[in-house]
Amino acid sequence: MVLPTRDVGYVRAPLRKRRLWKRMVANRYLYIMLLPAAAYYVLFHYYPMYGALIAFKEFSITKGILGSPWAGFKHFEYLFTLDKFWHVFWNTIIISLYRLVFGFPLPLIMAILLNEARKLLFKRTVQTIVYLPHFISWVIMGGLLMNLLSTDGGVVNNIVRSLGGEPIGFLTDDRYFRGTLVWSMIWKEFGWNTIIYMAALAGVNPQLYEAAYMDGANRARRIWHITLPSIRGTIIILLILRIGGLMEAGFEQIFVLYHEGVYNVADIIDTYVYRIGLTEGRFSLAAAVGLFKSAINFILLIAANRLSRMMGEQGIY
Amino acid sequence: MSYSGFGGKLFDVLNYVLLAVIAVLTLYPFWDSLIISMTPLNENLSTNVHLFPRSITLEAYRYLLNLDQLWSSYMVSIFVTVAGTIISMTATTLAAYALSKKELPGGRVVMFAIVFTMMFGGGIIPNFLVVKQLGMLNTVWAMMIPTAIQTYNLILMRSFFVSIPESLEESAKIDGCNDFGLLFRIVVPLSMPAIATVSLFYAVSKWNEFFTAVMYITDKDLWPLQLFLRSMLLENEAAFQSGGDSPFLLGQSIKMATIMVSAIPVMMIYPFFQRYFVQGITLGAVKE
C-alpha cells in the first residue's frame, strides 16, 4: 500500500517523538543521576552568569537583580576612564605573560629529563617530591616564602649577606615582587605540570625507542623524533588553555602575598574586584570589571583555538 | 637499551644530578620551616644556612596545641574535607557516568553546557550574591556546596568511564540490573585509579580551601585551618612577647609550627595516592 506523501510527515513526527520519549524513559535512571550536577551548574554557574547582569544595573541588595534599575554601559564607561583600572589591567597581563614565558617551557623540559631517567625508583621519588608543592595551599606556601625570603633571618638573604650583598626585599620591594610571584608559582606548579606530559609519554610504544636505537639514532634524535612528536598535541592544547587564561594572574597567590607597599606592581583585576566589590560594596562596578575579564578570556580562548586549527593542529574542541 | 658512549654516560650522570638537585631545592623550604619550628627562641638564625637544628625544643608546638582556635579550626577543616569530598564524589561520579553513555538523549547538550562553564563565568561578585541569597554565608556549607563539582574532575571521570568496554556491563544488564546497579557494582570497582585520583584532588582542595572561606566565613568559630594559619602568619609579633629576649624568633617558630601542623596531613596522605595519578590521568586527559 502506498501512502500519500503529505501523510508521511504527519505520521512520522509523532512516531519519532514517541520513540524519543521511550528512549528517555528507558534512561530515566541516568537522568536521575544527572540531577545533582544539573542543580549545581544551574545554581553556581548559570545563575551567576545571569547575575552578571548587575554590571548593567544600579544594583542594590534590597531590590535584587531584577528590581534594580538599568544603568546601561555607565559602569563600563566609568571604568575605562579610571587610571587605576588600566593599571590593574596591565599588571594582570604583565604577570601573566611572565608566567607564560618562564613557566610554560620548564615542565616540558622537566618531563623530557624525567623520561630519560630510567632508574625507576629514582624517577618515582623525584616525581613524588616535585608534585608535592601542588598539593600545598597558597597560605602555607606564602608562609614558607616569608620565612625563606625574610630580610631578617631568612636563608636566602643570609646567603646574599655572606656573599657581601645587601639583603633583598623579595616580598617588600616592588622591583623584586613580580619576580618572586613568578618564580614561586613555578616552584609550586612546574612539577605537577609535567604529569600531563608524563601521562602522554606513558602511552608511547617502547618499540619506537628500540627501533630508533637500532637505527643508530642518538639521544637527541630520539627526543626530537619520538618524545616531542608524541606530546605535541598535548603541548598545543595546554598552550591554548594558557592563552585562554591570560587574564588569570594567580589570584590566591597574590591575595596571600601582596600588601599595600607593592600594589603598584601586584594589584591585578581579581584583587581589584575583590576590594571594590566585597570590601567597598560597589557590586555593580566590581561585576562590570569581572565580566570584562571573563569576556576577554573567552575571546582569547576562541582565538587561540581557531589559530591552532588554522595551522592544521587539533584544537580543544 | 643504553648509551654506551662517553657522551651518553655523561648525559645520564648529569641528568640524575640535575634531577636530584631540583628535588632537594623543591623540598628545602619545607625542611627550613620544620627546623625553625623547633628552634629555641634564643638561637640566632640570621647568619647561617639552617641545614640541621643545633638544639631542639617543642615549645612552639606546646604553645600552639594549647590554643582552642587551632582545635576548632582543625575540626572545621576535617569536617569540610570529609563531608565535602563525599558530596563532590557523589555528584561527580553520578553525572560522569550518565554523561559517559552516548545513547543518552540530550547528553551532548548537557556536556557542552558543562564544558562551557570552564570558558565563561559570571565572576566573583555574582557568585557571592548567590551564596548570600541561599543563606549560606557563615555556614560550613558555603565551603562545600558552591565548589561541589570541579569540571575538570568531571571530564576526567567521564573519560575514564567511556574507556570501560560496554561488553562488561552487558551481562549484568541482561540479568536485570538497572543503571545504579551497573554503576556501583561494575563500573566503580573497575575505576579505582580514577576514583582515587579524583578523590584526592577533591580532598586536597577542600583541605586547602582558603578563598571561599575568606569570602563566605567571618565567624571565627567556623574558621577553617587555612584562615587560622593566615591570621597566625599576619599576627603582630608583639603578641608573642612572653619574656624571651627575642620575641621575633618565638613568633617565627610558632608560625612555622602552624605551617607544619597544617601541611602534614596532606604530605602524609598524598604519596599513597601517587601511584594512581598517571593511570588516573592518562585516560582522562590525553584523549578529550
Residue B145's CATH number: 1.10.3720.10
Question: How far apart are the C-alpha atoms of A109 and A190, rounded to whole Å?
Answer: 10
Nearest to B282 among A122, A135, A199 (CB): A199
Does A211 contact B at CB distance below 8 Å? no
Q: Mark whether B40 and B161 lie in a shared domain.
A: no
Q: Is residue B19 part of a domain?
A: yes
Q: Is residue B65 part of a domain?
A: yes
Supply the pLDDT for residue B283.
57
Nearest to B23 among A130, A161, A297 (CB): A130
The answer to whether B200 touches B275, Cβ cutoff 8 Å, is no
Q: Please state the length of chain A.
A: 317
Q: Is residue B198 part of a domain?
A: yes
The DSSP code for B237 is G
Query: What percent of chain B lies above the pLDDT cut of 70?
Result: 86
Q: Mark whether B124 and B17 lie in a shared domain.
A: no
- Which helix (H) or strand (E) covers residue A38, if one does? helix A28-41
Q: What is the pLDDT of residues B142-197, one digit of tens each?
A: 999 999 999 999 998 998 898 888 888 888 888 888 899 999 989 999 998 899 99
The DSSP code for B54 is S
pTM for the whole structure: 0.88
**pLDDT-based confidence at B241, cuts 50/70/90?**
very low
Q: B202-239: b or e for each residue (b if 16 or more CB lie within 10 Å)?
A: bbbbbbbbbbbbbbbbeeeebbbbbbbbbebbeeeeee
**pLDDT-based confidence at B270, cuts 50/70/90?**
confident
CATH number for region A85-310 = 1.10.3720.10
Q: Is residue B160 part of a domain?
A: yes
Phi, psi (degrees; rounded to nearest 5) at A57: -130, 170
Q: Please state the length of chain B.
A: 288
Chain A residue whose CA is closest to B12 = A117
Q: Do A129 and B26 touch (CB under 8 A)?
A: yes
- Pick the closest to residue B258 from B285, B288, B234 (CA basis): B234
Supply the pLDDT for residue A1.
43
Supply the pLDDT for residue B106.
93
Q: Mark whether B193 and B81 lie in a shared domain.
A: yes
- Among A44, A219, A294, A297, the strongest candidate for a mutation testing the B interface, having the largest count of B CBs within 10 A, is A44
Q: A70: helix, coil or strand?
A: strand
Does A139 contact B at CB distance below 8 Å? yes
Q: Is residue B53 part of a domain?
A: no
Phi, psi (degrees; rounded to nearest 5) at A70: -70, 145
Supply the pLDDT for residue B238.
42
In angstroms, how far is CA B36 from the centroid of its own chain?
25
Chain A residue whose CA is closest to B122 = A49
For chain A, the distance separating the N- and C-terminal CA atoms, rounded to the nearest angstrom, is: 47
Question: How far apart are the C-alpha atoms of A89 and A267, rounded to whole Å?
Answer: 9
Range of the domain at B64: 59-284
Q: Is residue B178 part of a domain?
A: yes
- For chain A, what is the radius of gyration of the CA atoms? 27
- Pick the closest to residue B230 from A176, A151, A252, A149 (CA basis): A252
Q: Is residue B51 part of a domain?
A: no
**pLDDT-based confidence at B3, cuts 50/70/90?**
low
Supply the pLDDT for residue A15.
64
Q: Do B16 and A119 touch (CB under 8 A)?
A: yes
Q: Is residue B52 part of a domain?
A: no
Q: What is the pLDDT of residues B275-288, one digit of tens each?
A: 777 677 765 544 43
Supply the pLDDT for residue B95.
97
Question: How far apart are the C-alpha atoms of B23 and A190, rounded to whole Å?
Answer: 12
Supply the pLDDT for residue B36.
87
The CA-atom distances, in angstroms, between B51 and each of A147, B29, B127, B167, B264 are 14, 11, 46, 58, 20
Other C-beta atoms closer than 10 Å to the C-beta of B191 total 23
Contacts of A3 (CB under 8 A, 6+ apart): A11
The answer to whether A79 touches A87, Cβ cutoff 8 Å, is no
Q: Mark whether B40 and B72 lie in a shared domain.
A: no
Chain A residue whose CA is closest to B46 = A153
- For chain B, what is the radius of gyration of the CA atoms? 24
**pLDDT-based confidence at B240, cuts 50/70/90?**
very low
Specify the number of domains making up chain B.
2
Which residues of chain A fall short of a pLDDT of 50? 1-11
Q: What is the pLDDT of residues B201-238, one digit of tens each?
A: 999 999 998 989 999 999 999 999 999 999 888 865 44
Residues 177-206 of A with CB under 8 A from B: 187, 191, 195-196, 198-200, 202-203
Supply the pLDDT for residue B245.
43
Say what the ipTM of the complex is. 0.88
Q: Mark whether B177 and B202 lie in a shared domain.
A: yes
Supply the pLDDT for residue B247.
45
Q: Mark whether B123 and B251 lie in a shared domain.
A: yes
